[in-house]
Amino acid sequence: MNVRDNLRRELKGSGHNMTTSRVLVCQKLADTGPVTMRELVESLGKEVDRATVYRIISLFEELGIVRRIPIGWKHKLELSDKFIHHHHHAHCLTCRNIITLPEDSQLELAVERTASSHHFKVTDHHIELHGYCSECQKKLS
């Protein structure tokens, strides 16, 4: 199922309409990966005005379509696991790049084992690594 079909299902299931602006925002997030709100607004240009983008993101967060990736006191936005394959992130403290880490079955198993040992049932999780990318490590040496 593609992004547009997933969006239609999520919106319809929650009683919301599929609009051109909502499709454009969702598709832009699918095409770009993690972005700041500013980057998202700028990338949409005149297609969707700033206030509409903010309203759409607010709705998408409420519906679990979009999630925030914390970066210090700021954040980036990306589509949730409903739309893209489950993954984690590594965030470089110097250049602020976010590296998408593919799902790792051993890590997922460790999360489940850890939760289970504390009699906790996991319904969702996100792992964020903070450190230095290979390029910034070279500069620090």
On whether both 30 and 93 belong to a single domain, the answer is no
Q: Which domain, by its residues, includes 61?
A: 1-84
Whichever domain contains 93, its CATH number is 3.30.1490.190
Q: What is the pLDDT of residue 96?
A: 83
What's the Rg (C-alpha) of the chain? 17
On whether both 104 and 120 belong to a single domain, the answer is yes
Tokens of 24: 């454009």
Secondary structure of 58-114 as H, E, C letters: HHHHHHCCEEEEEECCEEEEEECCCCCCCEEEEEECCCCCEEEEECCHHHHHHHHHH
Total tally of structural domains belonging to the chain: 2
On whether both 139 and 119 belong to a single domain, the answer is yes
Higher pLDDT, 73 or 6: 6
On whether both 41 and 11 belong to a single domain, the answer is yes
pLDDT digits (tens, 9 = 90+) for 44-81: 999 999 999 999 999 999 999 999 988 777 888 999 88
Amino acid at 11: L
Residue 92 · residue 131 · CB < 8 Å? yes
Strands 87-92, 74-79: pairing is unpaired
pLDDT digits (tens, 9 = 90+) for 106-120: 988 998 999 999 999
On whether both 38 and 63 belong to a single domain, the answer is yes
